[in-house]
């Protein structure tokens, strides 16, 4: 079925093919039934009853990932870190308020100041949620207000072994002047993260930075693609292709609307039924219509979980494509074009931590 | 509009078996046919005002289903089938006959008629139908399961289809006479 089979040249043969397809459909449908019509097909009908044992129970193909969130795009935002491997950075002391959080000492970091993570590394949090681990001795500068040091030390300088981690990914520069964009969605699966090289060359990998990435290339974890470097454009085309198997973006809302209409109709018919004398043909006809409508609604309802999963997958693809678009754009110029938060309208509270080592 | 809505509900219950069978015949995938059948009724519900009373509701639904098959990426391999007017006319030869509302019975009952005809087949043909259409096996796998060569099995299946078609047509003619 993957390749179109050629049709017969002769018109009569094509017409015959049409009749055959019609019979094929009827026979297959009679033997297996449709999801919606199975109840009716299994009704105590002389012919149907004897075939009921052949009716198979079907299970819908799942998408694997299902976020039981609202139909609208799932609220997940990107926590992005940009850092630049340079030559040196002057050591700066921690600057800002000292706070106590969860019984531990924490400090808010000033924007535009250079910091270096201590030998044990550091964990920072962005104001909208999400966090990033800074590996030991990394020098960086937060470019967003409200970034918090959640644990570890931030004091020194030196860039020789600068390395950043997000989720399962680790990356470090393999050439002077390397710029890397590291992204990890807040609230993402523990496995999800991506690293892209904007200029220069970096080593990146799962746990250990083993794969070499040149400018414009991306390594992603938890995206359902091979764990190897992809050109950003190639990866974008690959994930865009997945939309083909998904229901349209608005389908879930549309189905919910139809289900609302069904519910209202059933409610209205039940009220009408109460006004009819029980046992009369009118009442029985009304009961039959209610049963029929309820069955239709149930058939639609069965599709909703899949549509929700498809909507969530659209949202994930949108977020990943936004990241890849940025990589494509910025790896051409070698310069970051945006320092604003990367978040969609569905996640207004999402924050972005921008950190950079000293140029 | 309330009355229209109620009429539509009844029509959905009556025609969903037909729409599913129609889509299944074209796309050959039961899951996809389920989806397309549901889509067809959603579109029909939205466009109910376009339907002209007196026309065949079944034919109108099949037109919607064909459009959906043309647009659905999952059925890309069968798009050309519904784009060919002769193939479509051949399908209509069968479906228009089953659409006949003179007896007032439902499509599910008509499918029951098809089941009755399959049951009446000789055992080997009945088995061939059950393996290919009931269990969804490819012809080669079904032939192996039946212990027959692929050619023999294909001929058996073809004869079984012809017999079912003849049986359904005979029953419909008899019903009209009676």
Q: pLDDT, tens digit, for every residue of B154-168?
A: 899 888 888 888 887
Are A325 and A310 in contact, with CB atoms under 8 Å apart?
A: no
Extents of the domains making up chain B: 3-78, 85-177
Residues 6+ apart with CB under 8 A from B147: none
% of chain B surpassing 70 pLDDT: 84
Q: Output the 3-class SS for chain A.
A: CCCCCCCCCCHHHHHHHHHHHHHHHHHHHHHHCCCCCHHHHCCCCHHHHHHHHHCCCCCCCCCCCCCCCCCCCCCCEEEEEEEECCCCCCCCCCCCCEEEECCEEEEECCCCCCEEEEEEEEEEECCCCCEEEECCCCEECECCCCCEEEEEEECCCCCCCCEEEECCEEEEECCCCCEEEEEEEECCCCCCEEEEEEECEEEEEECCCCEEEECCEEEEECCCCCCCCEEHHHHHHHHHHHHHHCCCCCHHHHHHHHHHHHHHHHHHHHHHHHCCCCCCHHHHHHHHHHHHHHHHHHHHHHHHHHHHHHHHHHHHHHHHHHHHHHHHHHHHHCCCCCCCCCCCCCCCCCCCCCECCCC
As beta bridge partners, residue A354 has none
CB B17 within 8 A of CB A34: yes
Pairwise CB contact (< 8 Å): A36 & B20: yes
Evaluate whether A42 touches A52 at the Cβ level (below 8 Å): yes
- HSE, side-chain direction, 13 A CA sphere, residue B95: 30
How confident is the model at residue A273, as a pLDDT? 87
Contact A4 B79 (CB under 8 A): yes
- What six digits make up the tokens of A162? 């600068």
| Count of residues making up chain B | 178
B74: number of Cβ within 10 Å: 16
Kindly tell me if the per-residue pLDDT of B19 is higher than 80.
yes
Q: What is the pLDDT of residues A56-77, one digit of tens each?
A: 222 233 222 221 222 222 222 2
Give me the pLDDT at residue B6, please: 58
Reduced to 3 states (helix: H, G, I; strand: E, B; else coil), residue B1 is: coil
Q: Residue B100's pLDDT is what?
A: 64
Let me know: does A222 contact A253? Beta carbons within 8 Å: no
What is the third-level CATH fold of B85-177? Answer: Arc Repressor Mutant, subunit A (1.10.10)
Tens digit of pLDDT for each residue in B123-157? 888 888 888 887 778 888 889 888 889 889 989 98
- Pairing state of beta strands A217-221 and A211-214? unpaired
Rounded Cα distance, B55 and B75, in Å: 28
Which pLDDT score, from 0 to 100, does residue B15 have? Answer: 82
Q: What's the confidence (pLDDT) of residue A35?
A: 46
What's the DSSP call for residue B178? -
Burial of A318 from C-beta contacts in 10 A (0-12 / 13-18 / 19+): middle
DSSP three-state, residue B55: strand
The pLDDT assigned to A82 comes to 34
Q: How far is CA A36 from the centre of its chain?
A: 30
- Please report where in the chains the tokens 């509009």 appear, as a residue: B1
Least CA distance to B86: which residue of chain A? A15
Complex-level ipTM: 0.83
What are residue A80's phi and psi, to 5 degrees? Answer: -115, 145
d(CA B166, CA B155): 16
Query: Facing residues of A81 across strands?
Result: A182
Orientation of helix B150-177 relative to helix B85-99, angle to 10°: 40
Give the pair of three-digit tokens for residue A350.
Answer: 């999402």
- Residue where the block lists tokens 């106590």: A100
Q: How many CB atoms lie within 10 A of CB B98?
A: 19
Low-confidence residues in chain A, pLDDT < 50 = 1-2, 34-107, 156-162, 186, 334-359
- The pLDDT tens digits of the residues spanning A255-276 come to 777 788 888 888 888 888 888 8
Chain B contact for A64, CB < 8 A?
Answer: no
Verify whether the Cβ–Cβ distance A43 to B73 is below 8 Å.
Answer: no
CATH architecture of B3-78: Orthogonal Bundle (1.10)
For testing contact with chain B, the best of A27, A242, A282 (most B CBs within 10 A): A27
Structure tokens at B165: 């078609």
Nearest-CA distance B52 → chain A (Å):
23
| CA of B126 vs chain A CAs: smallest distance (Å) | 11
**Residue B5: pLDDT over 50:** yes
Inspect the interface and report whether the beta carbons of A34 and B16 lie closer than 8 Å.
yes
Q: Give pLDDT, residue A162.
A: 46
Q: Which range is most confident: A347-351, B30-34, B102-106, B172-176?
A: B30-34
Tokens 């207004």 correspond to: A348
Q: Is A62 left (phi over 0), alpha (psi -120 to 50) or beta?
A: beta
d(CA B109, CA B111): 5
| Per-residue pLDDT at A278 | 87
Q: Do B80 and A4 lie within an 8 Å CB cutoff?
A: yes
- C-alpha to C-alpha distance for A311 and A66, rounded to whole angstroms: 10
pLDDT of residue B38: 83
Are A47 and B10 inside 8 Å of each other by CB?
no
Question: Measured between alpha carbons, how far is B22 from A199 in angstroms, rounded to an integer?
Answer: 56
Question: Is the Cβ pair B86, A15 closer than 8 Å?
Answer: yes
Sequence-ordered list of residues with C-beta below 8 angstroms from that of A351, at least 6 positions apart, any chain: A77, A79, A126, A127, A128, A129, A130, A144, A146, A186, A341, A343
**Residue of B3, B14, B17, B138 to mutate, testing the A interface (most A Cβ within 10 Å of its Cβ):** B17
Phi, psi for residue A242 in degrees, rounded to 5:
-65, -25
């Amino acid at each position: 079925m993957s390749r179109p089979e050629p049709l017969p040249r002769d018109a009569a043969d094509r017409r015959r093919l049409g009749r055959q397809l019609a019979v094929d459909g009827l026979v297959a449908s009679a033997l297996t039934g449709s999801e919606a019509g199975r109840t009716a097909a299994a009704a105590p009908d002389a012919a149907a009853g004897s075939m009921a044992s052949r009716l198979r129970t079907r299970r819908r193909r799942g998408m694997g990932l299902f976020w039981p969130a609202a139909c609208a795009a799932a609220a997940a935002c990107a926590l992005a870190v940009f850092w630049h491997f340079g030559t040196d950075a002057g050591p700066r002391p921690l600057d800002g308020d000292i706070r106590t959080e969860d019984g531990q000492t924490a400090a808010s970091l000033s924007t535009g100041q250079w910091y270096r993570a201590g030998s044990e590394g550091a964990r920072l949090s962005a104001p909208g949620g999400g966090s990033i681990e800074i590996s030991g001795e990394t020098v960086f500068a937060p470019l967003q207000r409200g970034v918090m040091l959640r644990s570890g030390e931030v004091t020194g300088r030196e860039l020789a072994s600068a390395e950043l981690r997000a989720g399962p990914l680790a990356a470090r520069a393999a050439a002077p002047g390397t710029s890397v964009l590291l992204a990890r969605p807040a609230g993402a699966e523990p496995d999800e993260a991506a690293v892209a090289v904007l200029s220069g060359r970096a080593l990146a990998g799962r746990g250990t930075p083993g794969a070499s990435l040149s400018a414009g290339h991306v390594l992603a974890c938890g995206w359902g693609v091979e764990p190897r470097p992809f050109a950003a454009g190639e990866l974008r085309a690959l994930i865009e292709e997945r939309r083909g198997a998904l229901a349209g973006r608005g389908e879930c809302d549309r189905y919910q609307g139809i289900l609302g209409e069904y519910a209202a109709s059933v409610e209205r018919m039940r009220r009408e039924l109460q006004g009819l004398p029980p046992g009369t043909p009118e009442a029985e006809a009304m009961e039959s219509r209610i049963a029929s409508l309820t069955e239709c609604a149930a058939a639609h309802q069965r599709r909703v979980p899949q549509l929700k999963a498809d909507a969530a997958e659209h949202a994930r693809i949108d977020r990943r494509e936004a990241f890849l678009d940025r990589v494509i754009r910025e790896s051409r110029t070698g310069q970051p074009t945006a320092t604003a938060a990367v978040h969609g309208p569905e996640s207004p509270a999402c924050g972005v931590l921008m950190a950079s080592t000293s140029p | 509009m309330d009355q229209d809505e109620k009429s539509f509900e009844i029509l959905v219950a009556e025609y969903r078996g037909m729409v599913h069978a129609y889509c299944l015949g074209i796309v050959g995938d039961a899951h996809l046919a389920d989806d397309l059948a549901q889509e067809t009724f959603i579109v029909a519900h939205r466009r109910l005002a376009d339907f002209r009373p007196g026309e065949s509701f079944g034919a109108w639904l099949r037109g919607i289903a064909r459009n959906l098959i043309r647009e659905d990426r999952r059925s890309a391999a069968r798009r050309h089938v519904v784009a060919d007017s002769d193939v479509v006319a051949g399908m209509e030869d069968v479906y228009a006959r089953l659409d006949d509302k003179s007896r007032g019975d439902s499509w599910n009952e008509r499918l029951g008629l098809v089941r009755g005809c399959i049951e009446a087949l000789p055992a080997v043909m009945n088995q061939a139908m059950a393996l290919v259409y009931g269990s969804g096996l490819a012809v080669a796998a079904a032939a192996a399961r039946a212990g027959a060569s692929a050619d023999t099995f294909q001929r058996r299946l073809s004869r079984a289809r012809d017999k079912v078609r003849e049986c359904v047509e005979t029953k419909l003619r008899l019903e009209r006479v009676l």
